[in-house]
Amino acid sequence: MPFQLRKYFLFFLFVIARSSIGLTQNSIAKKDTTTFPVDSTLFFSFRACGFDYGNTAVRQKLLLKLDGFQDYRPVTQNLGNAGSPEKKFLLPGFSPDAFRRGTSYFDDFGFRAGNRQFYVSDRPYTNVSLVLGMKQEVNVYVRHAHPLGKNANVAFGFERIRSTGYYKRQNTNNTSVNLNGWFRSPGRRYAFLFDFSWTKDAVAENGGIANDSSFFFAKQLDRQLVAVNLSSASTTCREREFWMKQFWSFGTVTDTVKIPGDSSGTVKTRILPSAAIVHTLSVSDDYFLYSDNALTDGFYNVILKDSSSTSDSTYLWKMKNGLWFQVFNTKSDGKRRVVSGKIGARHELGEIRNDTIYQSFSNIYADGSLDFYFGNNAFSAASLSGWYVASGYNASDRLIHLLMESDTIGKTLNLALEATSALSHPDFLAEHYSGNNFRWSNSFHQSGHSEAKMLVLYRGKKNDNHYSVSATFSEFTDAIYFGQDFRPAQMNGNITAVTVSAFAETGLKMVRTRSELTWNRIQYGSPIRLPEFVARESLYGNFHIFHNGLQLQFGVDATWFSAFYADAYMPALSQFYVQNDSLSGNYLYISPWLSFKIKPVRVFIRADHANAAFSGRNYMIIPHYPQNDFSLKFGLSWVFND
């Protein structure tokens, strides 16, 4: 047995032995006095918009569920190695900002603005997760949240992923750290949230394998002997951001609030904010570097400056300020207001540098939202929000969003309708770029993107079975994309797309399934490419043994998507581009697994892509970048709550 696998196996045996000792001790005791809950309801996370301050708090329980724990890396359009750029089977989304450098395909890793989370806990909470795989794949995730009384909490996060990969020059080395927290003054006249994040992605670039036939038709294949296009290229992407949000509130003083559990009838003064002046501030800088110290003939169409090495860098810094007057949605008696919302302005400024290109920018936004609460009706709430760039680099850009939701109907059914419309200038990368192998200056006009979505969610009476169906209609006007020549282009006219998704988690007590099916219908000739069908299925057994002290699951995950012309990847730009030469898909990925949970410890063993050796070599999603072969993975998650 190889040393690396033997090390993982011995570590796994240690966890089994340690957990078994605890089970034995519990089984021989007359009564288990442990108070740790099976699924803790004492720990919560929330996004900034769900802060418990005037508005209704929107919290997510930090559960110790075993379901889905083994699904470490779902199949996506990726370069074949953990931590490398990837593109999901989804239509393009909406950006919260008017000015952007360009689309980043590293955003699914690390602590970034799009996944910013805060925590609420009565006592310290720590989650340590570890995933080990072949080819030295290591993914470490640590999150610690610490309460500072009832009105404050701080949290620290660390995430790291590295892997050498199966092919030459495929190694990844990504690290992210995060520190955030929140505070409410005892009288709730003032509150703030803050967040600091630092993320660095460092990946080697091989440009894909030099000849696809060496993968498709070789009978025996040592992956390290396969020729690749680039021998000394790499990409480094670093993002840093400090963000904070402050509230100066107004409210009605209520001086007859009885302290729960106090038989003396003691009362105290309580202030429930009804309105506030809200201020946000963020300062960020992004650094992108592509380097190649051994330029390979034939890979780059042209060399503009240096024939011996490439060092293309882009630096962007940005500062954003926002100031609003906000009316909260909760009254002093705890009931919902019929009308609430905010109105204000935002300002962003900064500069971007790329080779000889320098551009400063500044935008002033009008920004606001209006929320309605109708009570227990077919649609109980509606929200209209948006922003408009009144002046600046992105003048006349806008985004409007409408959401209508129902209360739970008959304790089982929820409905939601959502509509979004945006008009935006091109990303900076689409209009201006200067490097050793690419250079352009374009004058594209604004692009439009509109979307309407309906969601129906049904929960079974026992809440362990649920089903959902969503339908989305999208329209893109004058879309900007990267063409087969690797350069940005703008399509004249409209592109329509329809997406219908169905999800079901159901079954008996000991046999369960999770099924997801998505159908995409995109206008013919569109530069936006998605498979027509994407199917994911998980079938597993679910057992509680040792007097419910151990939960055991074992099953198989499968992913299939229909054939389509997937976008290819240009490492010198870190962008995906349209290609019409190579079909991807129509291949089934099968991964058997076993997982178990003993109180706060969860463990899984997964045979990722177990059918790689006998299903043919049709598993190249992105042209020239084969997916991983069979890989054995081991995962461990341990939660500490004291």
Helices (H) and strands (E) in the chain, counts: 3, 33
Give whole-number Cα distances, 184 to 27, 152, 246, 252, 321, in Å. 45, 6, 10, 17, 21
> What pLDDT is recorded for position 121?
86
Average pLDDT of the residues in 395-405: 97
> What pLDDT is recorded for position 10?
43
pLDDT of 461 strictly over 50: yes
Give residue 75's identity as a one-letter amino acid code.
Answer: V
> What pLDDT is recorded for position 25?
36
DSSP state letter for 21: H
> What pLDDT is recorded for position 187?
81
List CB contacts of 148: < 8 A, sequence separation 6 or more.
Answer: 154
Q: Which two tokens stand for residue 244?
A: 């904070």
| The 60-61 sheet, strands edge to edge | 60-61, 43-46, 118-121
Angstrom distance (rounded) from CA 25 to CA 18: 11
The secondary structure of 126-177 as a DSSP string is: EEEEEEEETTTEEEEEEEEEEE-SSSEEEEEEEEEEEE--SSTT--EEEEEE
List CB contacts of 54: < 8 A, sequence separation 6 or more.
Answer: 247, 249, 272, 273, 274, 275, 276, 326, 328, 329, 330
Angstrom distance (rounded) from CA 452 to CA 91: 13
> What pLDDT is recorded for position 34?
28
Residue ranges in 182-281 assigned as alpha helix (H)? 213-216
Angstrom distance (rounded) from CA 144 to CA 157: 6
pLDDT of 414 strictly over 80: yes
Average pLDDT of the residues in 32-61: 72
Q: Could you read off the pLDDT of 208-235 as tens digits, one per residue?
A: 999 988 888 776 678 888 999 999 999 9
Angstrom distance (rounded) from CA 296 to CA 292: 9
Rg (CA), the chain: 26
Give whole-number Cα distances, 478 to 426, 489, 527, 612, in Å. 10, 10, 11, 41
Nearest to 237 by CA among 180, 191, 174, 298: 174
Work out the widest C-alpha separation in the chain, in whole angstroms: 86
What are the phi and psi torsion angles at 214 (to 5°)? Answer: -70, -20
Q: Could you read off the pLDDT of 229-268 as tens digits, one per residue?
A: 999 999 999 999 999 999 999 877 555 555 555 555 555 5
Give residue 448's identity as a one-letter amino acid code.
Answer: G
Angstrom distance (rounded) from CA 197 to CA 242: 7
Angstrom distance (rounded) from CA 599 to CA 603: 11
Name the strand (E) or helix (H) holding 239.
strand 233-258
| Lowest mean pLDDT across 188-202, 255-269, 507-521 | 255-269
What are the phi and psi torsion angles at 192 (to 5°)? Answer: -155, 155
Q: Could you read off the pLDDT of 80-109 as tens digits, one per residue?
A: 999 999 999 999 999 999 999 999 999 889
Question: How long, in residues, is the chain?
Answer: 642
pLDDT of 641 strictly over 90: no
| Lowest mean pLDDT across 184-193, 333-342, 458-467 | 458-467
> What pLDDT is recorded for position 462?
67
Task: Give 491-528 as a 3 state SS string.
Answer: CCCEEEEEEEEEEEEEECCCEEEEEEEEEEEECCCCCC
CA within 13 Å, CB half, 508:
4
Residue with the larger pLDDT of the pair 38 and 614 = 614
Contact yes or no for 369/342 (Cβ under 8 A): yes
Percent residues over pLDDT 70 in the chain: 89
Res. 11 pLDDT band, cuts 50 70 90 = very low
Contact yes or no for 93/108 (Cβ under 8 A): no
pLDDT of 387 strictly over 80: yes
DSSP state letter for 18: H
**Mean pLDDT of the residues in the chain:** 88
| Lowest mean pLDDT across 5-14, 241-250, 339-348 | 5-14
What are the phi and psi torsion angles at 480 (to 5°)? Answer: -105, 135
Adjacent-strand bridge partners of 96: none
Average pLDDT of the residues in 148-173: 95
> What pLDDT is recorded for position 561?
97
Contact yes or no for 514/537 (Cβ under 8 A): yes
Helix (H, G, I), strand (E, B), or coil: what is residue 97? coil
Contact yes or no for 235/292 (Cβ under 8 A): no
List CB contacts of 76: < 8 A, sequence separation 6 or more.
Answer: 86, 87, 88, 89
Q: Could you read off the pLDDT of 270-313 as tens digits, one per residue?
A: 677 899 999 999 999 999 999 999 887 678 988 999 988 999 99
pLDDT of 552 strictly over 90: yes
Contact yes or no for 422/446 (Cβ under 8 A): no
Other CB atoms within 10 A of residue 427 CB: 18
> What pLDDT is recorded for position 257?
52
Angstrom distance (rounded) from CA 240 to CA 340: 34
Task: State whether the Cα torsion 559-565-568-574 is positive or negative.
Answer: negative
Name the strand (E) or helix (H) holding 313.
strand 310-327
Angstrom distance (rounded) from CA 93 to CA 104: 12
Average pLDDT of the residues in 608-623: 90
- The residue assigned the tokens 């995950």 is 557
Nearest to 56 by CA among 272, 336, 333: 336
Adjacent-strand bridge partners of 398: 388, 423
Q: Which two tokens stand for residue 597?
A: 């949970």
Instruction: Please work out, in degrees rounded to the nearest 5, the angle formed at the alpha carbon of residue 601 by the alpha carbons of 597 and 606.
Output: 60
Res. 574 pLDDT band, cuts 50 70 90 = very high
Beta strands in 546-600 (DSSP E): 550-561, 568-570, 575-577, 587-598
Instruction: Please work out, in degrees rounded to the nearest 5, the angle formed at the alpha carbon of residue 111 by the alpha carbons of 105 and 114.
Output: 65
Name the strand (E) or helix (H) holding 431.
helix 428-431
DSSP state letter for 188: S
| Lowest mean pLDDT across 13-17, 333-337, 385-389, 489-493 | 13-17
- The residue assigned the tokens 């020059």 is 169
Residue with the larger pLDDT of the pair 586 and 525 = 586
> What pLDDT is recorded for position 253?
59
pLDDT of 489 strictly over 60: yes
- The residue assigned the tokens 């030099």 is 210
pLDDT of 353 strictly over 80: yes
> What pLDDT is recorded for position 267?
56
Q: Which two tokens stand for residue 139?
A: 């993914």
What are the phi and psi torsion angles at 7 (to 5°)? Answer: -65, -45
Average pLDDT of the residues in 577-583: 95
Helix (H, G, I), strand (E, B), or coil: what is residue 88? coil
Average pLDDT of the residues in 456-471: 85
Average pLDDT of the residues in 309-328: 96
Residue ranges in 223-283 assigned as alpha helix (H)? none
CA within 13 Å, CB half, 127:
18
